[in-house]
Structure 1
Amino acid sequence: MVVWGLAMGVCVLGAFLSPGCRSNTESSTGAPWGIDVPFVARPPAVDGILEETWSQAAAGNLLLGDGRSLPRYGTRYRLLWSGSALFVAFQCEDPDMSGKYRKRDEPLYMDEVVEVFLDVDADRQDYVEIEVSPRNVLFDASFGARRQGMELGFNPRLVSAVRVAGTIDDDSDRDSGYTVELEIPFQELRGQGRLPPEPGDVWQVNFFRIDKSFGREEASMLSPALGDFHNLDAFVAMRFSAPGR
């Protein structure tokens, strides 16, 4: 993983996640840092199991809104790309999984969920939002500007899988968590950027997780959103690496 303008240290999450890195989300100049996403000629199978291919991924931990502190229950993200799609994975510690929504485009953001925001042309105007719940229910919408022109009719042909370790909506036991895999075909996205991208192209992104274990809500994120997940100024630069890099 190559990170631009990023100070890094060592942190350890719980047993459900691999050891990771605590990271700041701004460089010394105040500009959001960026991530180089490795190219893979043979994409991973999307089945909720992180196979060997994912060992090549860019990876890191979502942090609290201050950009420094770890949440109660950790979330590790991973990124890869192929000639046809962006691949995103999340490993979520969650001792009390919940998922009350069952239909696509229901308000998953009111419950436990992971979220991917993508600004394909990096213009900080139009963007898409994709969410996946522990039940593998999807929410997807496109926006013409920050929180404007939400189109729920945007239903790209995504491929997603979730593997849970525990039981959802069962307070009688203690869960371990869940793993999300998401394949986002480039031709299903919107924006003025080049689709599919070429090596060196840069998008703007942010990732979030909402955890509600034991009745306490906590949000973690890639880059501090200052109280609004749709804060486009908080998005992070994501660069597509060339094959073999």
Structure 2
Amino acid sequence: MYELAVQQPEAECDFLDATYRKKVGKLPATLREDFCASHAVCREWVTRRRTNRAFGIDLDSSTLDWGRARQQSTLTPAQRSRIALANADVLTARRAPVDITVAMNFSYCVFKTRELMLRYLKAAYKGTRPGGMFACDAYGGSGSYLEQEEERDLDGFTYVWDQHVYNPITGEVLNHIHFRFPDRTEMKKAFTYDWRLWTLPELQELLIEAGFREPVVHWEGTAKDGTGDGVFTPSRRGEACEAWIAYISAWRP
């Protein structure tokens, strides 16, 4: 249910391929997915090209195991052989440098201090080859500071995003995901996120301090109905939306 409600690995990999190719002139081959959980991006990545390899890192062994089980039904043996997973801390894990390092689903927000966030980005820098790219997503907007619930009906269940607590002094948020079902049962607090809500300027400044260059915000366009259209383009100015999602890319020199 989480993957259906929250993750879009195909769209994310489309963005990574296009952004990298535009800058480098060729498609990337190696990817590291930090905070990978069920490693949906890794799984999508190895289906794209036979030359692609993916490395996933996460502290939660049970979630990694769930993703491994998903591999059995969705990937060929050859594709599975090109994924390597580590039950480890992204701050200290060591891997061969890759073309692209990613931190998706706002997972880096678990780092609540500037010191820890900078430490993470420096680790990501070391894990990215010279000429390689780092990318993450971010969210915000006036609605992200409100304590409220938002519902979205999906196939067979309702996804509930619960912005439970916001502290304007520290920037900390406590968010939950609940799932509600047609029989009126509910899976409360299926997932909980104790985060700091980082801003786009903060993230760009920290990326530069970590050693990356050319941080760029990729802002989502607007569809006719006023919602996001799923097309992200490099931008210097965004709209003061109630809710937005953006990507940030940066490069290791």
Normalised TM-score (structure 2) = 0.26
Normalised TM-score (structure 1) = 0.26
Structure with bigger RCO (C-alpha 8 Å, 6+ apart): 1
Give the structure with the larger helix fraction: 2
Give the structure with the larger strand fraction: 2
Larger Rg over CA atoms: 2
